[in-house]
Structure 1
């Protein structure tokens, strides 16, 4: 950027007119950082062996997940709201398991519905996000 572009960005620099043309202060005993050292400081993940492979494995696991459309999600949410009056209730759910990367069908007792967190609370499975659900049916 030239001075004119900077002046457009910062129109009132009157307080700093005495500093603008001053050279950067040099601290005795401290040498400027070399470009090589600066690059090493800002590349911490390059030092992690296997980092890129881990990211790739995680991406492959989530490739199998299908995301619900808005209409499908609203239909699922309305089904869950209908079940809320009958808690605790034995249900069969088909949900994506982030640990395995596959959809699993489980039967469990639905004990609570957390509206804020958009999660179902099940006895044995714990909390399941409604965004991981594909299907829920009462037993």
Structure 2
């Protein structure tokens, strides 16, 4: 039985002058993944990110915090190094996280009720959960 394509089997594929072979990079781009929903992955990871709620201090914790804060305010001239654990609210969702800052307080801003550290960081007293001295006072 004769083959229907015997007359064209020996021919090479046609070459066109105005078409150039596609580069490997362009060919690979045809098969790259496609994100149908732009930003969906970011939204899912933002939803999955956990935040802490701001804890209410017990009466004993508040007493200790106030005592240490008063001691700090009395000894600002000595520039003691302190460690403060405070709450930072999350910018995108409810809740936040607790952060620890170690440093030397420059001044207490009584108008804003904030501690101002030598490096410019400002921490509101209302956001503080703990205040400790990292070195002994004289």
What range describes the TM-score normalised by the shorter chain of this pair?
0.3 to 0.5
Q: Relative contact order (C-alpha < 8 Å, sep 6+): which is higher?
A: 2
Larger fraction in helix: 1
**Could you state the TM-score of these two structures normalised by the residue count of structure 2?**
0.48
Q: Which has the larger radius of gyration?
A: 2
